[in-house]
Structures are given as C-alpha cells and as structure tokens.
Amino acid sequence: MLERLDGFPDIQAVADPGGAKPSAWRTHRACLEALPADATHLLVLQDDAWPCDRFHQRALAVLEEKPARIVSLFVPGFSHIRRQVNIARKKGSRWIDLDARGFVPIVAVVYPADTVAAILTFADTIRMPLVRADDAVIASYCRATRTFPAAPIPSLVEHRDELPSVMRMPYGRGQPHRVAAWFADTVA
C-alpha cells in the first residue's frame, strides 16, 4: 500500500495501541489523535486498503471539490449503496451523499482537521458500551451533527478483503459488501 501513497509527504503508520480485545475504533481514534497540528485534513486508510493508480492526484482533486466534508474514498457494494452508485453513474454524477443511519464506510476516509477535533470530543461524550466499531462511532457523530459524508464515484480505494486486518482474518475475495461498488482501477 505504501507504494501507492507516493506523493504524500507525511505518511504515518499508526499501530493498534493494544487492549484486551481487538478494536477498530481504538486504532481509528489513534489515527485521529495523530493529526499533525498544522494539517488541514487527515486521510485515514485501514491496513487492508488498496489505493487506486494516481491516488495522490485523485485524492487532492477530491479535496479541492469537497474541502469541508467528510469524504469516504471507499463505498462498499451493499445492494442499496450499489444501487445509489449505479443511479449516479447513469446520471453522470461524480458524487454521492452517504446516509449515516447504519454506518459510514471508513476503509479510506478524509476528514477536515476541525472535524477530527469534533469527532474526538463527541466520542468522549457518547455512551456506547465496549465501542469497537470505528464506522459506528463515525456514523453516530454524523447522525448527531446531521453531517452527510460524501463519496466520489468511482471509489478511489478498494478493500483488500483477502488480507488480515485489525478486526478479522481475511474474508476471501469478492464478497460484495466487502469490496467497492465501483473501483477507479476498473474504469477504462
């Protein structure tokens, strides 16, 4: 993955700080807390993410279009989301808004710096027993603040579900809910 991040000057690998049980939220939080003081945005990629070709240029273009939004660079192939992506494709749209009622896909996500601070403050105030799901915490924040994350289509990142990650061993390639509804590298 690091080879595909060429062009970013300040890449940092953040390890799971450890605990009694695996926790994607604990690791995601550590990434949020690692935001450099002078940063305008934070890009968080999970350990099993696979950025598209020319990722640096494409990610910067996304930030230019939606600088104040949470942007998910991966959209999974759940049937209702795939349907939304396909409708947008047919209309020639380059973006979809994500409904945060269930979860926010955060395999690869960009946060404005001020949003990072707000998420951390929010996470300290919510009462979720044994919070382990990073996407659930972010979805809770989005629902509470009426924030609608955006997602470019196609997704700029694929979810390498054949690789082990913080929470699980590999699932095996191709399960629709684990891979992108439409990945940029599949675009001719």
Name every residue whose Cβ is closer than 8 Å to that of residue 186 and which is 6 or more positions away in sequence: 154
3-class DSSP state of 71: strand
Q: Which residue range(s) make up the domain with 40?
A: 22-186
Has residue 94 been placed in a domain?
Answer: yes
Tens-place pLDDT, residues 104-132: 999 999 999 999 999 999 999 887 655 67
Q: Report the candidate in 81, 131, 132 with the shortest Cα–Cα distance to residue 102.
A: 81
Tens-place pLDDT, residues 164-175: 655 454 455 556
Has residue 131 been placed in a domain?
Answer: yes
Has residue 15 been placed in a domain?
Answer: no
Has residue 76 been placed in a domain?
Answer: yes
Instruction: Tell me the pTM.
Output: 0.89
The answer to whether 62 and 69 are in contact (CB under 8 A) is no
Where residue 52 sits, what CATH number does that domain have? 3.90.550
- What is the structure's pLDDT at 146? 95
3-class DSSP state of 150: strand
Structural domains counted in the chain: 1
Has residue 96 been placed in a domain?
Answer: yes
Distance between CA atoms of 75 and 178, rounded to whole angstroms? 9
Beta bridge partners of 43: 110
